[in-house]
Structure 1
């Protein structure tokens, strides 16, 4: 029996489609595809980010998790990564000439966009005409997002940690969070007890990520009367002293370890199971430039220990 030509070409097309799907899945094998962090109230956020023995370890996307074809601080990059695994999105907030809050790490446009010059010297309309570059300097179709756009997209999907640059008033960021009713999906990054205290005084319901490198740092935060359940501790870019980790965990405070840089390189050399070792030794959130690799390790860790959360679905 002969095969009619149009049936043959239909069959061949299906084979090629399936094979391309398998190749794509090989790139994301081991990742919990499609899981979201679904938080409705700020109390949900407190509960989810309070340490206990069954806490759900998470990947934090440094600058949003850029990769080939997906630039840093872009909504499309956030969505790509969130489609692979539950994520915290670390992103950067700057101010345009007309006081719009936009996502951009550098104070200039040169490295990550098709534009030149300072972000603060361009209006939002001018910034929106630009295109973002990926890490290979290739022009993408993606535009600079506003904070408002990011928060609107992220509700019920991800948690944001917002790195607010020096010239950006906390009040402006808090106003946008309020307007979007995004309190349940936002953590404000601070670098000193003074900054943490200021944010807490302005918006006592918001969660804060504070730099905690030693017990003295924790004591200074306690002096600001910030409740433990509204704190995350960024312990630095090398593993924290076990005594510090224990004290933080005893207070219910989860630890963010910055693996971007040296620790990511160690994992690439020694094997990506090293990310799970960081979790076993006390880290709870890994801020990484290698979210896929870290995600595979954490997914294996979660499955092996039977960890689950009603907020990760």
Structure 2
């Protein structure tokens, strides 16, 4: 009976509707990331949000996360030998697939024969997706945030234009120069920008990239020193993001992780990026305001929590 009950729960979860982000255009995307002081805490799935049976950078993993909570996803585009853009964090295949060697040494046709591994190293049924597939899938469901790997800026720019995707695809930028290039070429583009110091903040202002186009990554730790940056960025209407992937996600005690996730928002962050977005969403339920103008962007299914 216990086994049957568990199986029924798994099947029910697999059929659960996706909890999407309802963003129709670039104006709404900018509004979604605008700091107001009365905002809904935002969860970002780092590489999609991996869990047993679900690999990183995989559409099935994105959908598994969305069956539990609305979220957006940081993903990793890389180039194949024949210049197809696929999703892969590492430059090599060994850690995340049953293949070996460099991604750039294989054509797309050759990469299709490999399967992705879950975080425990188990080979799954899922193949490596292309960026085109993920952009098409994500429209009307969520936002994808493209990290900067080995894809040239001009190629990334052409992808967004090809798919008319500026309303649901944002770009991680490490420098004001990268942001300025995209801003000058893609109307309405939104950035996840590295703004961890006052010097970096000044650099974006000198580059002429408007703060309405920026969500700021301020670092991987909750620390009192962050407050100065939070205050400076919030005054400009900019939301601030902490990434727990290299820090709090690594804590072995679930209660310690829960406390760290909650403290991230208590100390002033607005967005939390995590390898464990389902766990984060559960931890911060009490921190979601009962009323907020931003609630209209979140399509939640409370039964799936």
- Report the Cα offset of residue 291 of structure 1: 1.4
Distance in 2, Cα, partners of 1:138 & 1:265: 20
Q: 1:39 aligns with which of 23, 28, 31?
A: 23
- Report the Cα offset of residue 114 of structure 1: 1.4
Q: 1:117 aligns with which of 101, 104, 109?
A: 101
> Would the aligned equivalents of 2:193 and 2:217 in 1 still touch at CA under 8 Å?
yes
CA change 1:111–1:219 in 2 (3 A) is: same
Deviates more, 1:293-302 or 1:61-70: 293-302
> Would the aligned equivalents of 1:92 and 1:103 in 2 still touch at CA under 8 Å?
yes
Which residues of 2 match residues 103-182 of structure 1 at below 5 A? Answer: 103-165=87-149, 167-182=150-165
Q: Which residue of 2 aligns with 1:292?
A: 278
Which residues of 2 match residues 13-28 of structure 1 at below 5 A? Answer: 20-22=7-9
Q: Which residue of 2 aligns with 1:6?
A: none
Contiguous gaps of at least 5 residues in structure 1: 1-11
- Report the Cα offset of residue 214 of structure 1: 1.4
Q: Which residue of 2 aligns with 1:259?
A: 244
Q: Which residue of 1 aligns with 2:267?
A: 281
- Residues 43-88 of structure 1: CA deviation (Å, up to 9, x unaligned): 1101111111221211111111111111111111111111110111
| TM value normalised by structure 1 | 0.87
Contiguous gaps of at least 5 residues in structure 2: 300-305
Q: Which residue of 2 aligns with 1:61?
A: 45
CA change 1:236–1:271 in 2 (3 A) is: closer
Superposed CA RMSD: 2.3
Work out which of the two has the higher radius of gyration on C-alpha atoms and give 1 or 2.
1
Distance in 2, Cα, partners of 1:19 & 1:124: 38
- Report the Cα offset of residue 252 of structure 1: 0.7
> Would the aligned equivalents of 2:112 and 2:127 in 1 still touch at CA under 8 Å?
yes
1:215 aligns with 2:201: no
Distance in 2, Cα, partners of 1:16 & 1:112: 30
Distance in 1, Cα, partners of 2:152 & 2:250: 35
> Would the aligned equivalents of 2:80 and 2:106 in 1 still touch at CA under 8 Å?
yes
Q: Which residue of 2 aligns with 1:246?
A: 231
> Would the aligned equivalents of 1:131 and 1:143 in 2 still touch at CA under 8 Å?
yes
1:196 aligns with 2:179: yes
| TM value normalised by structure 2 | 0.89
> Would the aligned equivalents of 1:171 and 1:202 in 2 still touch at CA under 8 Å?
no
Distance in 1, Cα, partners of 2:258 & 2:242: 15
- Report the Cα offset of residue 205 of structure 1: 2.1
- Report the Cα offset of residue 306 of structure 1: 3.7
CA change 1:189–1:273 in 2 (3 A) is: same
- What is the count of residue pairs matched by the alignment? 294
> Would the aligned equivalents of 2:86 and 2:130 in 1 still touch at CA under 8 Å?
yes
Higher RCO (CA-CA < 8 Å; seq separation 6+): 2
SS at match of 1:272: helix
> Would the aligned equivalents of 1:33 and 1:85 in 2 still touch at CA under 8 Å?
no
Q: 1:49 aligns with which of 22, 33, 37?
A: 33
1:309 aligns with 2:304: no
Deviates more, 1:277-286 or 1:174-183: 174-183
